Amino acid sequence: MGSLGGTRIKTRKRNIAAPLDPATFADAVVQIYLDNAGDLELVAKTIESADLNFSRYGDTFFEAKNHLHAELLAFHLLAQRITHVLRCALLPQVVFTGGRTQPGTTKPDEGDQHPYSIIDCEPKREAILPSVIYIQKILRRKPFLIKNLENVMRRFLQSLELFEENERKKLAIFTALAFSQKLSGLPPETVFQPLLKDNLVAKGIVLSFITDFFKEYLIDNSLDDLIAILKRGKMEENLLDFFPSAKRSAEAFSEHFTKEGLVPLVEYNEKKIFEVKLKEMKSALTTQIAEETDITEVIETVKQHVKDAKLPDIEVVRILWDVLMDAVQWSGKNQQQNANAALRQVRAWANLLNTFCTSGKLELELLYKVQVQCYEDAKLMKLFPEIVRSLYDQDVLAEDTILHWFRKGTNPKGRQTFVKALEPFVKWLEEAEEEE
């Protein structure tokens, strides 16, 4: 394996003539490796001074589509063009496999080979990270090569099935480290989108690759960082697309990544699914209430969503109140009109609220929702006692719930103002309680 320092083997240097074909070009670069025993510093210096026309071959071979060896060689041309040959670089053919490969394979082809490739690396970050760092430094100095890197990376990932499992793991580690180091020329869509080839996904190759990628990336980065690159790669909402179709379910996702030790990713995905289901129920309710659908049908809709999505009762109560108030046609500054509209809505849909406010805890949660909304919405600030009275009259809120909120409520938003405003009603409740 090449190293950045230490003992250097003195070898006979050869004159490198400008090659006139890709095969000769590749052999010339391999020879530089061999002449310098894989020492990166010596290899880099030799290539810097070598008469190798990278521009001539770069344009030609980055367009190759028919043979994997041409694609890998193209990336190799990129790496050499940037004057620093990389130890354990995954993508260039000569650097990755040690020389040219047979068309459509990763097996050695005719021509020179060297023993300093990624194939000889351990699938560990310490063996691969130097390559990433070198690429980053060089691309910063020669940004005109970034597009070439991106194009070749895309095609390379579409050929994952040509590599052994251990080799794909090395590629995943390289890719994760490249993102950790914010490697120029490697936008997330370049990595994630090419992976979604049906045959790669169906064989489980993509899931294995992406799992290794996630595990490696999260060593140095937070889950938020991972989600950010997934968003940029347009995959945040489509994580199940990495799974074979037969395993494309939330349960399979949780089982797989929990087994792989990626519990935070599982929790994140479950939260996203939960949010989507809440949004779906809210959307369905909004439509039905706007269309003044029969209340029994609306109740069945809510029950079905609760059953399908296993929604917590508290979330259901919160959504019901939000949807009902969002549907009110509010007046600009006419407080009386706003009060009338809000109270009409409460009376019209009281049975809906009653159906799902089935305990004192849920009633209290609804009361807190009313409190917060009246506090945050200026036009409702003075309506709090009227809304509470209406909910009481419609048997949505029990007397005990209201008295508990009045005496021991914990939400501070507007509490002092609302407690004072509710005093007359609470006094009436207490007097009625004493009479009984």
pLDDT tens profile 151-170: 777 877 888 888 889 889 98
| Residue 11 belongs to some domain of the structure | no
- Name the nearest CA neighbour of 159 among 64, 236, 22, 257: 64
Asked which of 24-28, 65-69, 141-145, 223-227 is least confident by mean pLDDT, the reply is 65-69
On the question of pLDDT at 104 being above 60, the answer is no
pLDDT digits (tens, 9 = 90+) for 25-67: 666 766 776 777 656 566 666 766 666 655 554 332 233 333 3
Mean pLDDT over 243-270 rounds to: 95
Boundary of a domain, candidates 136, 166, 186: 186
Lowest mean pLDDT among 13-17, 118-122, 209-213: 13-17
**For 95-105, what is the mean pLDDT?**
49
DSSP-based three-state secondary structure for 25: helix
**pLDDT at residue 131 tops 90:** no
220 falls within a domain = no
Domain finish residue from 150, 167, 186: 186
Confidence of residue 115 (pLDDT cuts 50, 70, 90): low
The percentage of residues in the chain with a pLDDT greater than 70, rounded to a whole number, is 70
What is the mean predicted confidence (pLDDT) over 309-316? 89
The total of other beta-carbon atoms located within 10 Å of residue 432's CB is 10
**Which of 21-30, 66-75, 145-154, 364-373 is predicted with the least confidence, judged by mean pLDDT?**
66-75
**Residue 84: pLDDT above 90?**
no
| Top-confidence residue, 76 or 296 | 296
CB-based contacts of 94: which residues, under 8 Å, 6+ apart? 26, 29, 30, 33, 73, 76, 80, 100, 114, 117
Tell me, what DSSP letter sits at residue 100?
E
More confident residue, 96 or 172: 172
Query: Considering the domain boundaries, does residue 133 fall inside one?
Result: yes
Residue 31 placed within a domain: yes
Mean pLDDT of 120-125: 79
Asked if residue 383 has pLDDT above 70, the reply is yes
Confidence grade of residue 436 (pLDDT, cut at 50, 70, 90):
low
CA-nearest of 313, 327, 414, 400 to 365 is 313
How many CA atoms lie less than 13 Å away from 417 in the CB half-sphere? 13
Show which of 124, 156, 186 is a domain's final residue.
Answer: 186
Q: What integer is the mean pLDDT of 215-226? A: 95
Band (pLDDT 50/70/90 cuts) for residue 86 is: very low
Indicate whether this model's pTM tops 0.85: no
Q: Which residue has the higher pLDDT, 147 or 347?
A: 347
Per-residue pLDDT, 391 = 94
DSSP state of 338: H
Q: Is residue 414 part of a domain?
A: yes
Indicate the pLDDT class of residue 371, thresholds 50, 70 and 90. Answer: very high
pLDDT for position 411: 92
The number of distinct structural domains making up the chain is 2
Residue 151: CB partners within 8 Å, gap ≥ 6?
62
Over residues 216-241, mean pLDDT: 93
Quick check: is 104 in a domain? yes
Whether the per-residue pLDDT at 71 is higher than 60: the answer is no
d(CA 120, CA 360): 67
Higher pLDDT, 377 or 255: 255
Backbone CA torsion sign across 38, 39, 40, 44: negative
Q: What is the pLDDT of residue 79?
A: 43
Q: Mean pLDDT over residues 372-401, rounded?
A: 91
> 3-class DSSP state for residue 125?
helix
- Which structural domain, as residue segments, surrounds residue 420? 313-435
Q: Could you give the CA distance from residue 199 to residue 244 in angstroms, rounded to a whole number?
A: 9
For the chain, what is the largest distance between any 2 Cα atoms, rounded to a whole number of angstroms? 110
Q: Above pLDDT 90, what percent of the chain? A: 44
95 in a domain, yes or no? yes
- The region of weakest confidence among 116-120, 298-302, 310-314 is 116-120
- DSSP, collapsed to helix, strand or coil, labels residue 388 as helix
Residue 423 has pLDDT above 90, yes or no: yes
CA distances from 430 to 314, 364, 397, 399, 434 (A): 28, 18, 15, 9, 6
Q: Is the pLDDT of residue 73 over 80?
A: no
Shared domain for 177 and 31, answered yes or no, is yes
* Max mean pLDDT range (87-96, 128-137, 229-238, 356-365): 356-365
CATH of the domain at 379: 1.25.40.180
**107 vs 294, residue with greater confidence:** 294
